Amino acid sequence: MPVFKVCLKIFRKNWLSVSIYIVIFLAIALLISATSVSERPTTFSQKKARVAFIAEEQTPLVKGFRKELSRSTTIVALPDQSEKLQDALYFRQVTYILRIPKGFTESVLSGGKMQLEKTVVPNSIENTYVDLNVDQYWNLARLYAAHDPGISQNGLASRLRANLSGTTPVVMKTENAAKTSDSFSMFYFNFLAYTLSAVLIMGISTAMMVFRRRDLRMRHYCSPLKQANVTMQLLAANLLFAGASWAVLVGFCFLLDPQSIVTMNMLYFLINSLLFTGCIASLSYLISTVLKSLNAVSAVCNLITLGTCFISGVFVPQEFLNSTVLKIASFTPTYWYVQANTRIAKLTHFSWDHLAPSLYSMLIMLAFTGAFIAIALVIGRRQQATN
């Protein structure tokens, strides 16, 4: 199989330029595994706000309220000075300043409308819990005072402490097989699109352009090898190169994330990436029929791989991209590959209804593959006729 062997020699000769993309890809994959992916939390703990508590009166209810508030917040001792309180809020030493004005307790017990004074950091989520605790304590105090007017402040404080001492345990249930959108495998297979595209375009396009040189084609026509035989050997060599590239890149995922191998999500990741490999291999063949110079392969490779990856969600998630950009990206197979990966990562059930959106994206990639092959054959026929 002389044509097959020559193809392998061309692939080996270009191995250095191909390996650069692989090294860059593995560096990115290691970076993702170290920083971007974290384990899903299995327990819940409330984040405590840092509160400056200023009380202008020291009644039993106020003291009880301070103890109750200290259970869910961190109370920071600060002097009652406007400048120091503002500085503490600015530098985030506290996120909530609560002031109880003089006469507030008496107003609560008598049904008055005196309000607590607060100063907060805007849009702070933990401050929401502080507001809930404040409202719960004093609304319950008003309720007791309205229905039991003779109750003492010490007795009321004891009842409030007993009523509010309960806690509710939070249990987070997750399915063992579930792969979420922040899984390492999804990030890995998304970034795989860049490296796989670059490797296949550089390898296959270069090899095919060598065999399309006029002097080499003339030799083939003069040789005893039939054109069908030459085509089959070229096809076998390209398939071997594409399959080997896919296997090597996917193999590193198993090394970096071995626990995901046994999941159903990984099976569909592999199917999706294999279909994408075939699509890019056919695109590489099309590129080889269009280009006239080997020097242009590298430029076209970078343009296609970087361009499609930037607009299709490989480097930036699709949910952060503009709708116009996504519409343009939908005319590339990379967009549908990334979309399928994102949907596969979220699967916890694998019935037809859940798989249908991912399979739809895969079918579109198959359509791209067929279109690339058909266009390449038409261009190849015309070039043969003109030559």
pLDDT of residue 179: 42
Fold category of 49-163 in CATH: abc type-2 transporter like fold (3.40.1710)
Rounded Cα gap, residues 191 and 181, in angstroms: 14
Q: Rounded CA gap, 289 and 378, in Å?
A: 10
Cβ pair 120, 95 in contact under 8 A: yes
Q: Edge-to-edge strand order for the sheet containing 73-76?
A: 73-76, 49-55, 96-100, 117-120
Q: In the prediction, which pLDDT does 44 show?
A: 58
C-alpha span between 144 and 153 (Å, rounded) = 11
Rounded (10°) angle between helices 264-290 and 184-211 = 30
Residue 172's pLDDT is 61
**pLDDT averages per 10-residue partition of the chain, 387 residues:** 73 73 74 55 69 91 90 89 89 91 90 88 84 90 86 88 78 49 74 87 81 64 65 81 88 79 87 93 87 79 88 86 91 94 87 90 94 87 67
pTM, to two decimals:
0.63
Are the C-beta atoms of 192 and 274 separated by less than 8 Å? no
- What is the 3-state composition of the chain as percent helix, strand, coil, each rounded to the nearest 5? 70, 5, 25
| CA 197 – CA 317 distance, rounded (Å) | 18
Q: Cα-flanking dihedrals φ and ψ of residue 46, to 5°?
A: -75, 135
Find the helix or strand (DSSP H, E) in which 368 lies.
Answer: helix 352-386
CA 369, CA 354: separation in Å to the nearest integer?
25
Amino acid at 316: V
Q: How many CB atoms lie within 10 A of CB 101?
A: 15
How far is Cα of residue 62 from the mean position of the Cα atoms in its chain? 47
The segment(s) of the chain belonging to CATH 3.40.1710.10 are 49-163
Between the alpha carbon of residue 221 and those of residues 3, 214, 228, 379, 384, the distances in Å are: 13, 11, 11, 19, 12
